[in-house]
Amino acid sequence: MKVSIIGTTGYGGVELLRILHSHPEFDIHSIHSTKEEVAISDEYPHLYGIIDKKMSSIDADKIADESDLVFFATPSGVSSSLVDQFKGKDIKVIDLSGDLRLKNTSDYLKWYKKTPANEAIVDEAVYGLSEWNKEQVKAANWVANPGCYPTATLLGLAPVVKEGLIDPRSIIVDAKSGTSGAGRAASRATLYAEVNENFKIYKVNEHQHIPEIEQQLMVWNSEIQPITFSTHLLPLTRGIMATMYVQLLADWETERVIDLYQSYYENEPFVRVRPQGYFPSIKDVSSSNYCDIGLHVDKRTNRLTIVSVIDNLMKGAAGQAVQNANIMFGLESHSGLKFMPLYP
Amino acid sequence: MKVSIIGTTGYGGVELLRILHSHPEFDIHSIHSTKEEVAISDEYPHLYGIIDKKMSSIDADKIADESDLVFFATPSGVSSSLVDQFKGKDIKVIDLSGDLRLKNTSDYLKWYKKTPANEAIVDEAVYGLSEWNKEQVKAANWVANPGCYPTATLLGLAPVVKEGLIDPRSIIVDAKSGTSGAGRAASRATLYAEVNENFKIYKVNEHQHIPEIEQQLMVWNSEIQPITFSTHLLPLTRGIMATMYVQLLADWETERVIDLYQSYYENEPFVRVRPQGYFPSIKDVSSSNYCDIGLHVDKRTNRLTIVSVIDNLMKGAAGQAVQNANIMFGLESHSGLKFMPLYP
Amino acid sequence: MKVSIIGTTGYGGVELLRILHSHPEFDIHSIHSTKEEVAISDEYPHLYGIIDKKMSSIDADKIADESDLVFFATPSGVSSSLVDQFKGKDIKVIDLSGDLRLKNTSDYLKWYKKTPANEAIVDEAVYGLSEWNKEQVKAANWVANPGCYPTATLLGLAPVVKEGLIDPRSIIVDAKSGTSGAGRAASRATLYAEVNENFKIYKVNEHQHIPEIEQQLMVWNSEIQPITFSTHLLPLTRGIMATMYVQLLADWETERVIDLYQSYYENEPFVRVRPQGYFPSIKDVSSSNYCDIGLHVDKRTNRLTIVSVIDNLMKGAAGQAVQNANIMFGLESHSGLKFMPLYP
Amino acid sequence: MKVSIIGTTGYGGVELLRILHSHPEFDIHSIHSTKEEVAISDEYPHLYGIIDKKMSSIDADKIADESDLVFFATPSGVSSSLVDQFKGKDIKVIDLSGDLRLKNTSDYLKWYKKTPANEAIVDEAVYGLSEWNKEQVKAANWVANPGCYPTATLLGLAPVVKEGLIDPRSIIVDAKSGTSGAGRAASRATLYAEVNENFKIYKVNEHQHIPEIEQQLMVWNSEIQPITFSTHLLPLTRGIMATMYVQLLADWETERVIDLYQSYYENEPFVRVRPQGYFPSIKDVSSSNYCDIGLHVDKRTNRLTIVSVIDNLMKGAAGQAVQNANIMFGLESHSGLKFMPLYP
């Protein structure tokens, strides 16, 4: 299968290259960026001698003619304009931005403060949370690849939300991300000297991933009320941890909750529900496509603490995008994705 | 005033040296450790040519004779044994460990899993949360210096807890600390290669600072119920952030909450309540004695998010210890503590 | 082919697992450590669900019976004792420690300050600098895998030393390494709080890799005189840079030097000689088996600056060990080693 | 004394504020930047409640009327334009940029690739290497504050260069700096995700500090030939280490070299020549004005290794600037500069 990538110069784009370069079924046919005619190894010298393709301009007709699948590794606000160019073309699309995720375009307007994408495509696009929407992804032409925070959060909340085990007003998510999530554009806020030896909270109760999370939670359980969601910037490059707090409606032991989670995820190659007493850390999944989950019920408060970790560029972006591509083309979902976590 | 330090080779001890070396009223009379006869600059070469004192063994009589005040910069379990040696001596004591903090010694046994200190001294010891217990500290002979997490947490929660503005069952504290809090002893878990590019949660619902926080909250408001308290290890050296979530009982605007906090802390030199829209980060207080607080009410959930940051070695340990010493000896509370945050 | 690993709990051992787990020809048959009966995923939780083998004790007969190859991922001083156990057994051995590298055992005694390994085996062992000793490695039963610093240094110096282009007394190597090179044992010097925001020089002119480098340089060019070699500890986990300074005997342009290097390394998959004007950084090779080299002649001094970078756990240890294993068993030297550098 | 600062929003400017805020003799009268009417605490929130001055535009007449001294904490190319405005005014000037350092303006043109400053002022400006040019600084109206790399390098080389103990063609400087030296402007190259877990060499043999170093070395010893000088970017915020290699002309023991250095610097409060066997690391001087020096003669090569560390924002910029200000106004050179190194 031939694939194209638009937006190759960002961190999500270059992570797609890392995965696809050794993928047994997908062949990187073309890469695109506004920096046409520049070799990708000039932009990313670590690729020297490995991938020497040049970037070319975005010609939707040509891409659709020559490739079976295109990844939009472009930022929100850019993907929406690409949608118009690829609409009606004979090619499958996986969009890594937030532009196709929110079914209610007024939510998009409110949280992203940008013009929404074509509404028909937004309607058609399938939300690519691979473990939960496999059947729809398989049949999809347009996939909205989930955000990094929503992936960690939703995989961690799904079982108790679906089962209706928690007070629907009680969801609090304290999320932390490494700086690669902020992208590769020059910026003062993510300079090394600003981030190092620092830790900050940002977009308190205002993060654009809030409606994405709530939309999916309500698909699973319509009782769910608005969540509290905080995001923090970690002094590290890759990784997200979401620490979540929910109020259990009945008395459940930690072990029983873990059993529930393990039964939900037992056939999923990338979700590792950890045994009682172990809580995953970011290095447990670094540079891999795993999402690891740890669980604990505090008997004093009957509150459940859920810890969910991913690599934001892998399971939180490029890894899950390739997982969705695998599903769309009938491959095993972990095809080309068996990267072992990097340790130390 | 002459002061002595026991446990000078730990990070808390060396931070006391940094502060006291330039303090206008306190004179470092003697330093003590099990490494007797070793110059402190052999242990800490950055002190070469600045402080060349030798460490000596712990002779309680001699220390009490020669000094006006002694700091126990020793770990929990060690301070309790020092208590017996200094009991009845004519010297004031500030203990930086957890050994004198919990009034209920069975709590100490349960959470610390060590033998509690002499009960009469524990009873007598004043909890040195400087901003709130000034009068008792002034009169005290024994001060239990607060833990790092409790300091950030309690300063952040005090106004709403005292005023009874929140659901007493709703307190959730998601706390994050740098690695200097784990001390200077050789350990695999805090090796650079283990901590760098990593972030982990630890002691979920089991941290020994939980009873300390709850004890003080109940002093302020007897309705308070058990809290949820999580601790995480940040890949940085100095700093703590506590992100706290509480349910407001009535509708309050963010601005009104900020006004309340500012009125409580307006005369406190080290607590900076930040204006609406700004949330402090760890670098805002790094290497200083400040505790910065940011506040936000989410109208969607009527939940208040409280962000509190400190430098764990300063306001969370040595800085607050010196602040208490200032109060005990009738000095201004910020005497010798006017360190500006280090940026970048 | 079946392989065994002794010393699996160290960083070199776990990196061997990462590589060998996805190797197309080698099968991890058994892993060994003093922690017998412990699952490797208990020691390294990131392996949970990926590798669940238990470690077993070291039974040389059993290992030699069942495996075709054994890696000693043990520290210097431990490997030498394993040598005696495996001597005469029908199994190939690759030793990652320094114990088999120095042909002159009195050098070993002087620089390592430990008892040398069995002299006959030391004599027999082939120095596994893969690019340069391919033929001997192919025929070897015992391979002394090169040290991390020597690998970066020797690959960078080889062409000009072999060609006799430099003043043989002029070699100065200023080397810098990440902390994973210091291993996983608990230690104060490599605590996060000691290494972070720090940079230090160590073992000035006393590093045990000096005789290893000089031994090989003199194989290439008997005129070579003692070198100046400094090692520094970088605040990062993986990676080595050796910045080298040599005096050219004749006037050479940078471009001509680069041509020379490229002709020497043109068939080597893991050595990338960079074009004029580009100097590789550590991230260019991170988590891969590449050694990247940058070159510049300063016309003002006629001195050549050589920059050589590797990942110390890959090309500097486990990666090169597997490269040697490939060669020993007649596979392509990059078999199972095509890891793309991890960026960012 | 009243002082003004131009260029307060950079890292050098804010470090001047940190020092001057607690200086016993200098009073920050005004701060200037292109961001007029903005409070400095809006730009640097860590200053909230500590310094609330607003920045104003640059009115040379007003500044000269009201202040006794002005610091140009502006980049090279900007200072040169300020020079014209302040020429002939009744105010002392300390320029932290490179614009007044090179006596030969064609060198400036060649290495900085910018228009040189007014030649008369360049001629008049005194090179403010505090320890060596005290008398000239005392009498100066214009001080060219040394660069960060030159400060570490020159203090480390001075004694052997002045004494003529080394081969004048043999000087090799391998220098490493933290990222704060690259400034606070948004840039891709110094993003956290680019610098973290990375280490790179840059401007090989082309750094603009080369002519500054050589100019001063030749003042001390006219025989000195062009040096080899490499600069590397460390993944840390503050600090420089210069590792220097020089060929001794005669056989000297390490101890004798140390004695020489100690006799040169014995009355200097900020230069600490370390005893035999100890080599300073960056944390030994972090956030202080010290320059620490370690020395070792390798008997095998008769080469001297010199290690010199400073905090680039203190002794390498703002600290030395204040040290020069102290000297210019007849104060003790360490007045207001007794910051203890921050550890850990």
If you write DSSP's letter for every residue of C231-260 in order, what string do you get? EEE-SSSS-EEEEEEEEBSS---HHHHHHH
Please give the residue of chain C at the shortest CA–CA distance from B191: C191
Token pair for C299: 């016309």
Interface check D192 vs B, CB under 8 A: no
Using CB atoms, pick whichever of C237, C338, C343 lies closest to residue A14: C343
- Mutate: best of A14, A179, A191, partner D, most D CBs <10 A: A191
pLDDT given for residue C34 in this prediction: 87
Same domain, residue pair A116 and A185: no
| Structural domains counted in chain B | 2
Whether the predicted interface score ipTM is above 0.95: yes
Same domain, residue pair A168 and A293: yes
Contact (CB<8Å) A18/C340? yes
Q: Using alpha carbons only, how large is chain D's radius of gyration in Å?
A: 20
Query: In degrees, to the nearest 5, what angle opens at C-alpha C22 toward C-alphas C21 and C27?
Result: 55
Contact (CB<8Å) D179/A186? no
Give me the DSSP letters along C82-127. HHHHHTT-SSEEEE-SSTTT-SSHHHHHHHH-SPPPPHHHHHH-EE
Rounded CA separation D136/D130 (Å): 10
In the predicted model, what is the mean pLDDT of residues D70-96?
A: 97
Task: Judge whether A159 lies within some domain.
Answer: yes
Contact (CB<8Å) D237/A193? yes
Token pair for A198: 């620092």
Same domain, residue pair B19 and B158: no
Average pLDDT, chain D: 97
Using CB atoms, pick whichever of D185, D186, D190 lies closest to residue A192: D190
Token pair for C187: 């230690």
pLDDT given for residue C325 in this prediction: 98
Indicate if the pLDDT at residue D331 is higher than 90. yes
Please give the residue of chain D at the shortest CA–CA distance from A187: D186
Task: Judge whether B6 lies within some domain.
Answer: yes
Token pair for A114: 């940008």
| Model confidence band, residue C25 (pLDDT cutoffs 50, 70, 90) | very high
Contact (CB<8Å) B237/C187? no
Contact (CB<8Å) B195/C194? no
Same domain, residue pair C162 and C113: no
pLDDT given for residue D6 in this prediction: 98
Q: Which residue(s) pair with B213 in the sheet? A: none
| Model confidence band, residue A34 (pLDDT cutoffs 50, 70, 90) | confident
Contact (CB<8Å) D287/B342? yes
- Domain of residue C163 covers 149-312
Same domain, residue pair B201 and B100: no
Q: Which residue(s) pair with D71 in the sheet? A: D5, D94
Contact (CB<8Å) C344/A184? yes
CB pairs under 8 A between B and C: 64
Task: Judge whether D86 lies within some domain.
Answer: yes
pLDDT given for residue A78 in this prediction: 97
Active-site residue, selected from the candidate residues D16, D148, D155, D260? D148
pLDDT given for residue B84 in this prediction: 95
Interface check A252 vs B, CB under 8 A: no
Average pLDDT, chain C: 97
Contacts C301 to D, Cβ<8 Å: 169, 225-228
Contacts B184 to C, Cβ<8 Å: 188, 191, 193
Determine the distance in angstroms separating the CA of C55 from the nearest CA of chain D, rounded to an integer: 31
Task: Judge whether B331 lies within some domain.
Answer: no
Give the closest residue to C161 by CA, choosing from C216, C108, C201, C199. Answer: C216
In the predicted model, what is the mean pLDDT of residues C2-13?
A: 97
Same domain, residue pair D161 and D297: yes
Cβ pair D175, D241 in contact under 8 A: yes
Using CB atoms, pick whichever of B185, B192, B194 lies closest to residue C196: B192
Contact (CB<8Å) C241/D201? yes
Catalytic residues of B, by residue number, are 148
Contact (CB<8Å) D188/A188? no
Rounded CA separation B89/B68 (Å): 11
Which CATH number do you get for residue D190?
3.30.360.10
Whole-number percent of chain A with pLDDT over 90: 99
Q: Which residue(s) pair with A306 in the sheet? A: A244, A295
Task: Judge whether B206 lies within some domain.
Answer: yes
Interface check A234 vs D, CB under 8 A: no
Kindly report, residue by residue over C98-126, the tens digit of the pLDDT.
Answer: 999 999 999 999 999 999 999 999 999 99
Q: Which residue(s) pair with D172 in the sheet? A: D228, D245
Rounded CA separation B188/C316 (Å): 22
Task: Judge whether A200 lies within some domain.
Answer: yes
Interface check C284 vs A, CB under 8 A: yes
Interface check B11 vs C, CB under 8 A: yes
Active-site residue, selected from the candidate residues C19, C40, C144, C148? C148
In the predicted model, what is the mean pLDDT of residues A282-302?
A: 98
Interface check C340 vs A, CB under 8 A: yes
Kindly report, residue by residue over C53-77, the tens digit of the pLDDT.
Answer: 999 999 999 999 999 999 999 999 9
Same domain, residue pair D42 and D182: no
Same domain, residue pair B175 and B260: yes
Contact (CB<8Å) C21/A237? no
pLDDT given for residue D51 in this prediction: 97
Same domain, residue pair A272 and A191: yes
Determine the distance in angstroms separating the CA of C315 from the nearest CA of chain B, rounded to an integer: 18
Per DSSP bridges, beta strands A69-72 and A92-95 are parallel
Please give the residue of chain D at the shortest CA–CA distance from C174: D174
Please give the residue of chain A at the shortest CA–CA distance from B227: A301
Same domain, residue pair C169 and C266: yes
| Model confidence band, residue D9 (pLDDT cutoffs 50, 70, 90) | very high
Kindly report, residue by residue over C194-223, the tens digit of the pLDDT.
Answer: 999 999 999 999 999 999 999 999 999 999
Instruction: Find where tokens 């960083």 sit.
Output: C11
Interface check C334 vs A, CB under 8 A: no
Interface check B283 vs A, CB under 8 A: yes
pLDDT given for residue B133 in this prediction: 98
CA D70 to chain centre: 17
- Mutate: best of C167, C207, C281, partner D, most D CBs <10 A: C281
Indicate if the pLDDT at residue C159 is higher than 90. yes
Contacts B274 to D, Cβ<8 Å: 45, 48
Task: Judge whether D270 lies within some domain.
Answer: yes
Determine the distance in angstroms separating the CA of A18 from the nearest CA of chain C, rounded to an integer: 6
Rounded CA separation C99/C92 (Å): 16
Task: Judge whether A106 lies within some domain.
Answer: yes
CB pairs under 8 A between B and D: 71
Kindly report, residue by residue over C292-342, the tens digit of the pLDDT.
Answer: 999 999 999 999 999 999 999 999 999 999 999 999 999 999 999 999 999
Kindly report, residue by residue over D188-205, the tens digit of the pLDDT.
Answer: 999 999 999 999 999 999
Determine the distance in angstroms separating the CA of B98 from the nearest CA of chain D, rounded to an integer: 22
Interface check D23 vs B, CB under 8 A: no
- In chain B (344 residues long), the average pLDDT of successive 10-residue segments reads 97 98 98 94 97 96 98 97 97 98 97 97 98 98 98 98 98 98 96 98 97 98 98 98 98 98 98 98 98 98 98 98 98 97 98
Same domain, residue pair C230 and C180: yes
Indicate if the pLDDT at residue D34 is higher than 90. no
Which CATH number do you get for residue D29?
3.40.50.720
Interface check B314 vs A, CB under 8 A: no
- CB < 8 Å & 24+ apart, contacts of C30-38: C30/C4, C30/C5, C30/C56, C30/C63, C30/C66, C30/C67, C31/C4, C31/C5, C31/C55, C31/C56, C32/C4, C32/C5, C32/C6, C32/C7, C32/C8, C32/C56, C32/C57, C32/C58, C32/C63, C33/C6, C33/C7, C33/C8, C33/C9, C35/C9
Is there a cis peptide before residue C280, judged by omega within 30 degrees of 0? no
Rounded CA separation C327/A227 (Å): 57
- In C, residues 150-179, which contact D (CB 8 Å cutoff)? 169, 172, 174, 176
Same domain, residue pair B159 and B273: yes
- Mutate: best of A8, A48, A236, partner C, most C CBs <10 A: A48
Average pLDDT, chain A: 97
Please give the residue of chain D at the shortest CA–CA distance from A239: D193
Give the closest residue to C302 by CA, choosing from C258, C255, C248. Answer: C248
Contact (CB<8Å) C11/B196? no
Chains in touch with D (3+ beta-carbon pairs under 8 Å) read A, B, C
Using CB atoms, pick whichever of D191, D235, D236 lies closest to residue A191: D191
Classify residue B207 as left (phi > 0), alpha (psi -120 to 50) or beta.
beta
Contact (CB<8Å) C237/B195? no
Determine the distance in angstroms separating the CA of A170 from the nearest CA of chain C, rounded to an integer: 31
